Amino acid sequence: MNRISHWIDGSVVEGSSGRSGMVFNPATGEQAASVDFASVAEVDAAVAAAKAAFPEWRATGLGRRAEVMFHLRELIDANRKEIASLLTAEHGKVLSDALGEVARGLENVEFACGIAHLLKGGYSEQAASSVDVYSIRQPLGVVAGITPFNFPAMVPMWMFANALACGNTFVLKPSEKDPSASLLMAELLATAGLPGGCFNVVQGDKVAVDRLLEHPDVQAVSFVGSTPIARYIYETGTRNGKRVQALGGAKNHMLVLPDADLDMAADAAVSAGYGSAGERCMAISVVLAVDTIADELVAKIAERIPAVKVGPGNEPDNEMGPLITGEHRDKVAGYVEGASEEGATVVVDGRDGAPSEGFFLMPTLLDHVQPGSKAYDDEIFGPVLSVTRVGSYDEGLELINSNPYGNGTAIFTRDGGAARQFQWDVAVGMVGVNVPIPVPVSYYSFGGWKSSLFGDTHMYGPEGINFYTRGKVVTSRWPDPHTSRVDLGFPETR
Ligand code: NAD
């Protein structure tokens, strides 16, 4: 049985806690590996390695730090397929989707290649007589990343590329469900020239997370995962004096106005609802269809579903793979049962026709899903698309804005004025106009509103640079020494 361990101070370190978890191949349902779970002492060793590496890495010139990122960029590019295969093997997503994940993660490494430009401060000459003022941004020290199962390569790249380029050292605690990609990225970082100790991986569960949250040498924590855990991470980390950004779950609505191109809207709903088996925080979960076009739109979505090719992710033609575990598949299937009990119509029932082995559920379409029912209220995180019918734009907007989550949303319309009004009105962090999955490019920042993000800073892009650095302002005077005198007055600039 393949054993997946930690990466501490530049090499693989086998766990000695005696605790481990199972890693499955979701396409077969078989256990494929075991993953070591870190003890407190093992987390402490990783943090100690990161702390020891910090002074030298911080002092490494910007040109050299950028060079390491450029090398990493080339290595990830050259190893796209290998990384994607690992994602498919442990997560289950189809290869084309896994390659997309690597590409979107790589964007963040490319952004970090520009670190010299990103860390420029401001300078004001002669703010007062012979006084100049300038601002600089300095790294924090050891920072930690805690990541979810659904993007085992991209989400760590959201974090460590900018964190390292800014001069921090990093401890990653990946999801225990698909931990291998983190070790491959550690190897690539080492090959790219990152000194040992700058990037460490501790595999594990709550024990490792809690130790990172309380460790006095961890300065900041980036988290991506479900809302209850995000809230816990934010509250615990900030109580312990750390800087925290904690991104949580989602319930993303797509509002389809009567003037929309309904074929385009149906294509988008199917792509964004069932891509990655719905296990994306930016997946469309609810289609809000204005009454007059609802029947036609539901029919167009339903007619596309049989064409979605479902099967093992490593078979090239497949478009949708299995769910992450059997337990999760059963939970998602339970929503289909529950929805019909709560008055929804099951238009396409994904419990029928799934491959017999593995954690599969076929694409499911629910209509007439009512706010207040579990299928509407909960983040299902599976291939279940709900249609909720609304009388107007205002009614749809009200549903989106009263939802506790605010990660992503999309409007489908041909009316530019309506789209602009939506952008103005909607209480959601990432908005698509005829774009169903509006994940920002790496030179903007990613983050939701309300229960989808705890903390003030969105992830990656310019806000990521701010998160991983502290500002400092220097006020300096260079007078001739003989002009110096004692002056107890408060310094004025005029
Ligand atoms: P999760 O919250 O169960 O786990 C995330 C991380 O937290 C993992 O590393 C896990 O080991 C750790 N963890 C789990 N339980 C813990 C506990 N009790 N104490 C301390 N640590 C704990 O999330 P998941 O199931 O891996 O991922 C799916 C969730 O992530 C969904 O809710 C999805 O919407 C969300 N997500 C959000 C974004 C975003 O950007 N907002 C992106 C991806 C995923």
Q: For 277-310, how does the pLDDT look when each residue is reduced to its tens digit (9 = 90+)?
A: 999 999 999 999 999 999 999 999 999 999 999 9
Residue 225 CA to ligand 1 centre (angstroms)? 3
Q: Does residue 428 have its Cβ closer than 6 Å to ligand 1?
A: no
Residue 10 CA to ligand 1 centre (angstroms)? 26
Q: Which residues of the chain have pLDDT under 50?
A: none
pLDDT score for 482? 73
Q: Does residue 224 have its Cβ closer than 6 Å to ligand 1?
A: yes
Residue 223 CA to ligand 1 centre (angstroms)? 8
Smallest CA-to-CA distance from 203 within 180, 226, 227, 219 is with 180
* CA atoms within 13 Å, Cβ hemisphere of 268: 27
- Please confirm, yes or no, whether 113 is among the known catalytic residues: no
Burial of 188 (0-12, 13-18, 19+ CB in 10 A): buried
Residue 106 CA to ligand 1 centre (angstroms)? 21
pLDDT score for 416? 98
pLDDT score for 491? 85
* C-alpha–C-alpha distance, residues 80 and 98, integer Å: 9
Q: Does residue 452 have its Cβ closer than 6 Å to ligand 1?
A: yes
Query: Residue 123: what are its φ and ψ, rounded to 5°?
Result: -145, 130
Smallest CA-to-CA distance from 66 within 181, 179, 164, 152 is with 164
Ligand 1 nearest-atom number relative to CA 227:
32
Structure tokens at 111: 């952004």
Q: Cβ(95)–Cβ(88) under 8 Å?
A: yes
288 CB-near residues (< 8 Å, 6+ apart): 253, 254, 255, 256, 388, 389, 390, 396, 399, 400
pLDDT score for 400? 98
pLDDT score for 494? 78
Ligand 1 site-directed mutation target among 226, 252, 405, 454, most atoms within 8 Å of CB: 226
* C-alpha–C-alpha distance, residues 288 and 398, integer Å: 11
Residue with tokens 């990037």: 199
* C-alpha–C-alpha distance, residues 153 and 247, integer Å: 16
Ligand 1 site-directed mutation target among 149, 214, 409, most atoms within 8 Å of CB: 149
Q: What b/e string do you get for 364-381 counting C-beta neighbours within 10 Å, with b at 16 or more?
A: bbbbbbeeebebbeebbb
Ligand 1 nearest-atom number relative to CA 210:
20
Query: Residue 13: what are its φ and ψ, rounded to 5°?
Result: -125, 120
Distance of CA 320 to the CA centre of its chain: 20
